[in-house]
Structure 1
Amino acid sequence: MLAIDIQNVTYSYPDTTTAIENISLQIPMGSKIALLGPNGAGKSTLLHHLNGLKLPQEGSISIMGVPLNKKSAKLIRQKVGLVFQDPDDQVISGTVWEDVQFGPRNLGLSEEEIEAVCNVALGSVGMLEFKQKAPYQLSYGQKKRVAIAGVLAMKPDIVILDEPMSYLDPQGQDEVAALLQGLNFMGKTVLLSTHDVDFAVSWADTIIIMKDGKLLEYGGPELLVNEKIVREAKLHLPRIARLFRMIPDLNLERLPTNEQEAARLLYKLLNFQETSFK
């Protein structure tokens, strides 16, 4: 079963601005997907469609085989959890616990079930000990983790995050990256939008690149070391690729996408140099 099936979707805002135009994508279950593109590319609008916050004006979207429409939107939101870019838009209750239990309570779960799912959700993001804290007492990174816990408490099969790394310090970014990896290990399909090319190329198994509301490219991490594509998308090469790009007369068929590929390439180059001088 596909996690997400998007066919020829177009959406325009009331002022006639076309946010996304004729987008078609198919995303398998269990994927790790990074959505990239310049500001105004339509990334957030597309994410809002996948959670049922917006409905296609043209084309169709199916989530795990369920067609998205007005009648199915509530069911879709149970299957797809959306974490907003700014946690202050999502974490709004008096305490962390009240915020995380809001979704399960609206589903009609019993008090025992709510207690169980919220404890698991907060524990999975390392925030269980903060459950009686008010959101204003938390750091920005902690609030991001609470927002993710609120989504996880709904037990979605697909987790979507809009710019999860924005405004986080390096430690906060590392914590969120580990959490995203853990979600995928749990069997969840994880899709996020990001401007962080280095993170995307090292974490994702699928890359989606948008520009001007259209799908520019769709494929594996190797897309982000293709200089023509990166330039057209107004992105930049990952740091590791840029480093190898600066070495004269290297003539690589493809630049490395991550540290493991770079290490293997360096090992081959060093062995070649050593053999050449013998």
Structure 2
Amino acid sequence: MMNAVEFKEVTYLYPNGMKALNHINLQIPIGTKVALLGPNGAGKSTLLHHLNGLKVPQQGTVKIMGEELTKKNANSIRQKVGLVFQDPDDQVFSGTVLEDVEFGPRNLKMTEEEISEVCLAALGNVGMLDYKDQAPYHLSYGQKKRVAIAGILAMKPDVVILDEPMSYLDPAGQDDIAGLLQGLNFLGKTIILSTHDVNFAASWADMIVIIMNGEIIATGGTELLVDEEVIRKAKLHLPIVSRLFKMLPNVDTLPKNEQEAFRLLYRIIYEEEGRFTY
């Protein structure tokens, strides 16, 4: 099966000679939900910028949906990969919400009928259709993020990338974005996001990628987030539920999220009472 993203020996140096990415190798299957984690300055944003042609490899190759990224085809690659910036004010700037979402499709030379269809559908998918005639500066931070995502969806990308989508959102806003990302994945989109939130990553992602000093130090499932050696090396924390269960005696396997914690707690309680066979 074709991968949505392939990095092969990708290296990128800043003008001062520092390696932002150092021989990156990565494969992301189509339809995967990926959480990219690492400390500030690890190379997360630089890696994301290689996914939609904002940067191109100085060494190595990047393929998006089987097509190799080059300077010549960077614009066409951006039609396959949509990038949502960390701050929606960098992306949402038109007079009305609808005009903002229409910006990308108009640059793709869609017909007026096509533009109306894709933009209204995108706003509906993010729950912002009722706000289409409002000025973006009247919206909350979370609503602006939804509009930014709608602007990307209107371009009909195969891959949606988000740089720290939960930053500066209150808990309710974070829940809204998490549900939205889940829905986009149900629609068949490959979702790749950078985050510092190991709790969110543990409950949402299919695939974890951990980057440190421009190098990928681990890839795999969410079990990486309870690998104490990896977490320590990446300067991250174990998920909260993992830290709680780590304090309990006779717990051999740490749960990664609330669902696993409930199942483990249920087993512990009923085994102690002699009424449960696991």
**What range describes the TM-score normalised by the shorter chain of this pair?**
over 0.9
Deviations 1:33-86 (A, max 9, x none): 000000000000000000110000000000011000012211110000000000
Local SS of the residue matching 1:46:
helix
TM-score normalised according to structure 1 size: 0.97
Q: What does 1:148-159 correspond to in 2, within 5 Å?
A: 148-159=149-160
Deviations 1:215-245 (A, max 9, x none): 1110000000111111110000001101100
| Distance in structure 1 (CA, Å) of the matches to 2:230 and 2:39 | 13
Local SS of the residue matching 1:120:
helix
**Does structure 1 retain, via aligned residues, the 8 Å contact 2:245–2:251?**
no
Task: Give the total of aligned pairs.
Answer: 274
The residue identity in structure 1 corresponding to 2:10 is V
Local SS of the residue matching 1:78:
coil
Q: In the alignment, which residue of structure 2 is the partner of 1:218? A: 219
CA RMSD of aligned residues (A): 0.9
Identity score, percent: 66
Q: In the alignment, which residue of structure 1 is the partner of 2:262? A: 263
Deviations 1:5-41 (A, max 9, x none): 1001010111212111111000000000000000000
Q: Is 1:201 the counterpart of 2:202 in the alignment? A: yes
Q: Is 1:132 the counterpart of 2:138 in the alignment? A: no
Q: Is 1:229 the counterpart of 2:225 in the alignment? A: no
Q: In the alignment, which residue of structure 1 is the partner of 2:65? A: 64
| Distance in structure 2 (CA, Å) of the matches to 1:86 and 1:49 | 19
| Distance in structure 2 (CA, Å) of the matches to 1:251 and 1:31 | 31
Gaps of 5+ in 1: none
How far is the alpha carbon of 1:92 from its aligned partner? 1.2
How far is the alpha carbon of 1:250 from its aligned partner? 1.6
| Distance in structure 2 (CA, Å) of the matches to 1:132 and 1:162 | 27
Q: Is 1:100 the counterpart of 2:121 in the alignment? A: no
| Distance in structure 2 (CA, Å) of the matches to 1:47 and 1:222 | 23
The residue identity in structure 2 corresponding to 1:71 is K
How far is the alpha carbon of 1:182 from its aligned partner? 0.1
Q: In the alignment, which residue of structure 2 is the partner of 1:273? A: 272
The residue identity in structure 2 corresponding to 1:106 is N
Q: In the alignment, which residue of structure 2 is the partner of 1:250? A: 250
Local SS of the residue matching 1:210:
strand
| Distance in structure 2 (CA, Å) of the matches to 1:88 and 1:128 | 19
Deviations 1:156-193 (A, max 9, x none): 01000000000000110000000000000000100000
Local SS of the residue matching 2:274:
helix
Q: In the alignment, which residue of structure 2 is the partner of 1:4? A: 5
| Distance in structure 2 (CA, Å) of the matches to 1:259 and 1:129 | 34
Q: Is 1:41 the counterpart of 2:42 in the alignment? A: yes
How far is the alpha carbon of 1:251 from its aligned partner? 4.0
Q: In the alignment, which residue of structure 2 is the partner of 1:25? A: 26
Deviations 1:104-156 (A, max 9, x none): 01111111110000000001111111111111111100000000000000000
Q: What does 1:75-114 correspond to in 2, within 5 Å?
A: 75-114=76-115
Q: In the alignment, which residue of structure 1 is the partner of 2:169? A: 168
| Distance in structure 2 (CA, Å) of the matches to 1:150 and 1:17 | 34
Local SS of the residue matching 1:144:
helix
The residue identity in structure 2 corresponding to 1:265 is L
| Distance in structure 1 (CA, Å) of the matches to 2:173 and 2:11 | 35
Local SS of the residue matching 2:79:
helix
